[in-house]
Amino acid sequence: MRRHFSRLSILVVLLTLLPVRALAARNLVPVGQVIGLQLYSDTVTVAAYDDVHGAAAKDAGLKIGDQIVEINGTPVTCAEDVRSALDSGETEMNLTVSRGGKQRDLTLKPTQTRDGPRMGIYLRQGIAGIGTVTWYDPDTGAFGALGHGVSDSGGLLKMTRGNAYAADVVEVKKGKSGNPGQLKGTARSMEPMAPLLRNTAQGVFGVTARGWKGEALPMAAYEQIHLGPAAIRAQIGSGQAQEYSVEILKIYPQTRADCRNFLLKVTDSELLRTTGGIVQGMSGSPIIQDGKLVGAVTHVLVNSPDTGYGIYIQNMLEAAA
C-alpha cells in the first residue's frame, strides 16, 4: 500500500512539473481580428447626465462613474431596481453610491415630468467596446482577447455574463504624444458570435463554434523569447489582420504582478503612418517571434505611442483555464 502511494506521489509531482513545458508545445491560431465585447455586471453606474433633467442629479452630488449601491436602503443590482424606486412615488431618494472605492450617502429629489419622475441620469450596467482577439484554439473553440482585464471605476469588472460580436474597424484616430489613439469599431450584427465566460487581469475569454481561420503556431517558452525583431498581428482597417514589425526592447520577469512582461517598440512604417503606433482597440494583438506565439499587446505609453507593453502567452492561458 505504501509503495502504491509512493508511486502516486511521484506521478503527482511529475504532473506539477510538466504543465509549462506541455503547454509550450500547444498550437494556437494567432488571430489579430477586432471583436465587439459586451460585459454585464451586477453594478449600476451613472453613465451621463440627461441634457434636460440633469440638474436633479447634479444638485444631489451624483457624478459620472458613481455606482448606485442602494436606494432607500434597498440594494440595487440592475437598472430595473432604479426604475422600481422611482415608481414608488417617494419625493426624496436616499442614495448610497460607491465612488473611488468609498461609499457616500446622497439625497436626490426626482424631477416630476409628464412621463413620470426622472433622476436626470443615464445608467449603464456593464461595459461595451472593441478589442483584439489574441488566440483561438481550434481543438476546443476557446479564445482569448485583450491581454488585460476590463475594468470599471471600482477596479476589475465583476462580469456576470457577456457576449462577443463580429466587428469591423470604421475609423482610426492616430495616437500622439500625450493623446492615445483609438480604433473605432461597430458590430456587424446584434447576434452574438460567442459567450464570454471570464474577465481576468490577463484577458477576456470565451468559447465559440465559429472560430477564426489561420495557421496554428506553437507557443514560445519564456526562455526562448529574446530582444530584437518580432511582429504583431493587428486589424487597423476594414480588411483582414496583417503583420507589422516591432522590436522587443526589454523582457521582464514572467511573474511580474502587473502582467507587463515585455516592452515593445513599433518599427513598421505603415503602422506608424496609420496609427502612430499602438492605439486603444489594439490590445490583444498577438506577438509573434521566430514562428512562435509569444504573447499579446496590452498597453501603450501615453507619451510615446510607438511603444507599449505585452503579456506572455502562458500567463493568458493560465488565466483562461
Residue 162, CB-side half-sphere exposure with 13 Å CA sphere: 27
Determine the Cα–Cα distance for residues 260 and 198; give it in Å rounded to an integer: 20
Query: What pairs with residue 37 in β-bridges?
Result: 129, 164
Task: Quickly list H helices, the chain.
Answer: 2-17, 19-24, 55-60, 79-87, 269-275, 313-320
Residues serving a catalytic function are 148, 268, 283
Question: 267: left (phi > 0), else alpha (psi -120 to 50), else beta?
Answer: alpha
DSSP-derived letter for residue 192 is -
β partners of residue 109: none
Cell triple for 132: 483584439
Q: What distance in Å separates the CA atoms of residue 245 and residue 262, rounded to the nearest whole number?
A: 15
Q: CA-to-CA distance for 170 and 131, rounded, in angstroms?
A: 13
Longest dimension (CA), the chain: 82
Q: How far apart are CA 98 and CA 102, in angstroms?
A: 5
Say how far apart CA 156 and CA 201 lie, in whole Å: 7
Task: Give the whole-angstrom CA distance, residue 146 versus residue 280.
Answer: 10
Strands (E), 137-239: 142-145, 151-152, 155-156, 159-173, 182-187, 194-200, 203-207, 217-218, 228-234
Is 120:57 a contact under the CB 8 Å cutoff? yes
